[in-house]
Amino acid sequence: MRALILLLGLTLAAVAGAQSPGDGWRTWALRMDKAQRSLNYDATMVIDSGSGDWELVELSQRVGPGGPEQQWLGLNGAGRRQVRTAQGVSVLGPEGDQRIGQGPQLRAGPLLADLDKYYRVDIDPRDRVAGRRALRMSLHPLSADRYGLRLWIDVDTGLPLRSERIGVDQQILERRMVTRLLVHGFAGASAPAAPLVPGERGWTLPGGFHLIGSALAVPGIAGARQWVISDGVAWISVYQMRLPPGASIERDGWRHGALSQVTLRRGEDWFYVLGDSPPETLVLMGEAALAAGQ
């Protein structure tokens, strides 16, 4: 639940609020990006990851000098807490503190220009979610190497209120819905969208995917490197690490809702690939890292 450009503040927010559901999909993608990066709010959300058990979450976002920070608190089940920042997602709970990388989210910026080459984007008539006016945006992938996405966007703020990840067989893999929203207003400024990483030399990625971030150190994972890959809708993290003596890692991979994980190995280096894409696509991303000589 990987939660779009919020750049300016109350003046632009007032202008955006006057826009109608008839505006083009790019306009709404920009409004979503803006809301996710500069809107201060509290919300209650329910999440269904396909297991039949709904997770109830309290969500709070505050925007500071370093960008947005989200606090997630699970109200049922294991009662985990997540802290989401620009540096990644820290999961706090029975499993301890585990950094798992940036969560999936729809991101505008440089990736927006080519989005309709790989997805058919539809804007559907307005709806209502959590008692608020909402517009539905549907992104239908044109190939089987990525999932589809449906978003219900708050007309007043641009914040996504509901989402559905759709598998290649049209099965709903994950559903999220806000049931309560308390808006505290837009921040005066927010961190700009991250540019594409210059120099993808040696990386061979499926069409539309680009390197958008990299790090030579990963908090909480000693000696690891990380690359973040996205097409603007799907978000994939590739971690390269060496395990300490006696340590082991899951080699068979897993899928939970729309989130999947695969593991590749080259000598002493392990490549742990995590993202909201089909496992076959994650394997391609891991192989791209291997072929790039990372």
CATH number of the structural domain spanning residue 237? 3.30.200.100
Residue among 258, 216, 214, 256 at smallest CA distance from 233: 258
Asked, for residue 281, whether it belongs to a domain, the answer is yes
Residue among 121, 151, 149, 148 at smallest CA distance from 136: 151
Q: In this structure, are residues 211 and 229 in contact, taking their beta carbons and an 8 Å threshold?
A: yes
pLDDT at 263: 92
Same domain, 260 and 151: no
Asked, for residue 198, whether it belongs to a domain, the answer is no
pLDDT in tens, 259-279: 899 999 888 888 999 899 999
Same domain, 145 and 258: no
Same domain, 218 and 176: no
Q: In this structure, are residues 270 and 243 in contact, taking their beta carbons and an 8 Å threshold?
A: yes
At 279, is the secondary structure helix, strand, or coil? Answer: helix
Q: Name the β-bridge partners of 227.
A: 214, 238
Same domain, 97 and 171: yes
Residues 6 or more apart whose CB falls under 8 angstroms from that of 258 comprise: 49, 104, 147, 165, 167, 173, 174, 276
pLDDT at 128: 92
At 10, is the secondary structure helix, strand, or coil? Answer: helix
Same domain, 181 and 269: no
Give the integer Cα–Cα distance in Å for 119 and 292. 27
pLDDT at 96: 44
Asked, for residue 257, whether it belongs to a domain, the answer is yes
Asked, for residue 193, whether it belongs to a domain, the answer is no
In CATH, what number is assigned to the domain containing residue 150?
Answer: 2.50.20.10
Residue among 133, 165, 126, 178 at smallest CA distance from 277: 165
Same domain, 142 and 71: yes
Same domain, 80 and 225: no
Query: Along the 294 residues of the chain, how does pLDDT read in single tens digits?
Result: 333 222 222 222 222 333 455 468 989 988 988 898 899 999 999 999 877 778 899 999 999 887 888 898 989 877 778 887 766 666 555 444 444 444 335 555 677 888 999 999 999 878 899 999 999 999 999 999 999 999 999 999 999 999 999 998 899 999 999 999 999 999 875 555 555 555 566 788 999 998 887 777 666 667 778 888 989 899 898 988 887 777 767 777 888 888 899 999 888 888 999 899 999 999 999 999 988 875
The DSSP 8-state label assigned to residue 146 in this structure reads S
Listed in sequence order, the DSSP H helices in 79-173 are 115-118
Q: Name the β-bridge partners of 91.
A: 82, 98
Same domain, 217 and 140: no
CB count, 10 Å around CB of 265?
14
Give CA separation, 167 vs 112, 238, 291, in Å.
Answer: 22, 22, 28
User: What pTM, to 2 d.p., does this model score?
Assistant: 0.81
How far the first Cα of the chain sits from its last, in Å, is 29
Up-side HSE of residue 214: CA atoms within 13 Å toward CB?
11
pLDDT at 176: 93
Question: Residue 146's domain spans which residues?
Answer: 10-186
Asked, for residue 192, whether it belongs to a domain, the answer is no
Same domain, 135 and 250: no
Q: Which residue has the tokens 């300490």?
A: 244
For 81: left if phi > 0, alpha if psi spans -120 to 50, otherwise beta; the answer is beta
Domain endpoint, select from 153, 186, 219: 186
Number of domains present in the structure of the chain = 2
Asked, for residue 194, whether it belongs to a domain, the answer is no
Residues 6 or more apart whose CB falls under 8 angstroms from that of 119 comprise: 139, 140, 141, 142, 148, 233
Asked, for residue 149, whether it belongs to a domain, the answer is yes
Residue among 61, 285, 97 at smallest CA distance from 89: 97
Asked, for residue 261, whether it belongs to a domain, the answer is yes
Give the integer Cα–Cα distance in Å for 211 and 93. 31
Same domain, 101 and 182: yes
Q: In this structure, are residues 291 and 275 in contact, taking their beta carbons and an 8 Å threshold?
A: no
Same domain, 166 and 32: yes
Same domain, 249 and 142: no
pLDDT in tens, 200-236: 667 889 999 988 877 776 666 677 788 889 898 998 9
At 179, the amino acid letter reads: T
Residue among 87, 117, 116, 80 at smallest CA distance from 103: 87
Domain endpoint, select from 186, 220, 238: 186
Give the integer Cα–Cα distance in Å for 273 and 294. 14
